[in-house]
Structure 1
Amino acid sequence: MYEYGLRVYYNTKALAKALLQVLFGLEVEGAEKIPKEGPVILASNHMSFLDPVVMGVACPRVVSYMSRDDVFKYPILRWLLPRLYVIPVSRGAGDLGAVKAAIRTLKNGMAFGIFPEGRRSRTGFIEPFKTGTAAIALRTNAPIVPAAIIGSDKAWPVGKGPRLRRSIRVVFGDPIVLPPGKTDHQTLEEVTRQLEAAVTALLPPEYHRKPTV
């Protein structure tokens, strides 16, 4: 079953890569910075429905994700998503089970993709990060690779259909290695702000959040 799942994953990834390159000219920078094995968290900004697919294609490894559980009600997705290592999560319910599943994924040595903003930005700018990513990293001793997805908001804007010939680029930054063990509120906030700054630095200025006056 495991090998069959991998075949489904890689075949789906190959198809998605071809479509993204043809339709949106997908470019990837810094993929060599992702550790080739062992647990790793890929943390990116989130502005489009396309982002999980884009990140999965850009990363040379198998990537597991969380997705809201209501998409699993469709028969084809109920069959496909588990084979793409997608973890269902109840939106707004503080799904502890999904967090535990993410921790198990990392402890099994896999890559785990997450969007620390918690939802797609509707402002056109990167939104404040939540502390969940830091909590998972500190509990698993997994390095965090910051990433920036650029252009997906124009290729497939929130609430609209896809717009072809809009380019998408993914940029990976240097891994952030954290000391394990400390999960107090201050540490979570410090790590979260560090990660947010790292992702922001990879984005063009047009995506930077405007300072409040």
Structure 2
Amino acid sequence: MNLTFYDFAKSVVYGVFKPLYRIEVIGGENFPSEGGVLLCTNHIDNFDPLVVGAMAPRPVHFMAKAELFSVPVLGKIVPHVNAFPVKRGLSDREALRKGLSILKEGKVLGLFPEGTRSKTGELGKGLAGAGFFALRTEASVVPCAIIGPYKPFRKLKVAYGKPIDMDAIRANKGSAEAASELIMDEIRKLLLENK
């Protein structure tokens, strides 16, 4: 059921959002066609997970705040669109293990490194979680920028950058924080290049 429902949901979101927000996808060739991918995106709107999931060339698994899973109706849908719960504000070992296994299985894990939506639209500080996943797996780390605003019939852009080389940080036994900082720098570059 998972795959069919995901495909159905993706086609509905794509069909509605692409024309409504005139979504332009930039750098699609930077998205690896196989192997684990850690997709790291800025967070400007509640619609971001829908847009990222619908525009990505491969199915994306997302961490979603645990509270969503207890919302009537929505709580039943969320697991069928490749989302799994994470308890915010504390180290959720189960969610970390689940994220690692998704990447090690060669799938795509979508993350919003800021951890929460930016109220100003400006890029915030990345949390260590993105760096943790980047350093603990061999997954390709792909930066992604959503360039808004979400206004009907105004162009919205989804830009993918080239996979980030984590070798230097790994070789120097760099911290998860340093890896997250590098990821945020690459997202920032995409935002500037595609304004």
1:165 correspondence with 2:162: no
Is the 2:134–2:179 contact (alpha carbons within 8 Å) kept by the matching residues of 1? no
Q: Which moved more, 1:28-37 or 1:196-205?
A: 196-205
Is the 2:159–2:194 contact (alpha carbons within 8 Å) kept by the matching residues of 1? no
SS at match of 2:73: helix
Correspondent of 1:190 among 178, 182, 185: 178
User: 1:185 Cα deviation (Å)?
Assistant: 7.9
> Percent identity among equivalent residues?
33
User: 1:24 Cα deviation (Å)?
Assistant: 0.9
SS at match of 1:203: helix
CA deviations 1:138-190 (Å, max 9, x no partner) are 11111100010010xx31xxxxxxx4223211000000132399599843233
Task: Work out the CA distance in 2 between the residues paired with 1:169 and 1:52.
Answer: 14
CA RMSD of aligned residues (A): 2.3
TM-score by length of structure 2 reads 0.91
Change (3 A) 1:49 1:136: same
Change (3 A) 1:176 1:205: closer
Correspondent of 2:132 among 119, 131, 135: 135
User: 1:81 Cα deviation (Å)?
Assistant: 1.4
**Alignment correspondent of 1:81:** 78
Structure 1 unaligned spans of 5+:
156-162, 208-213
Is the 2:135–2:179 contact (alpha carbons within 8 Å) kept by the matching residues of 1? no
The aligned length equals 195
Change (3 A) 1:23 1:134: same
Is the 1:135–1:183 contact (alpha carbons within 8 Å) kept by the matching residues of 2? no
Is the 1:142–1:177 contact (alpha carbons within 8 Å) kept by the matching residues of 2? no
1:60 correspondence with 2:60: no
Change (3 A) 1:183 1:114: farther
Structure 2 unaligned spans of 5+:
none
SS at match of 1:204: helix
TM-score by length of structure 1 reads 0.84
**Alignment correspondent of 2:118:** 121
Equivalent residues in 2 for 1:138-149, closer than 5 Å: 138-149=135-146
User: 1:108 Cα deviation (Å)?
Assistant: 1.3
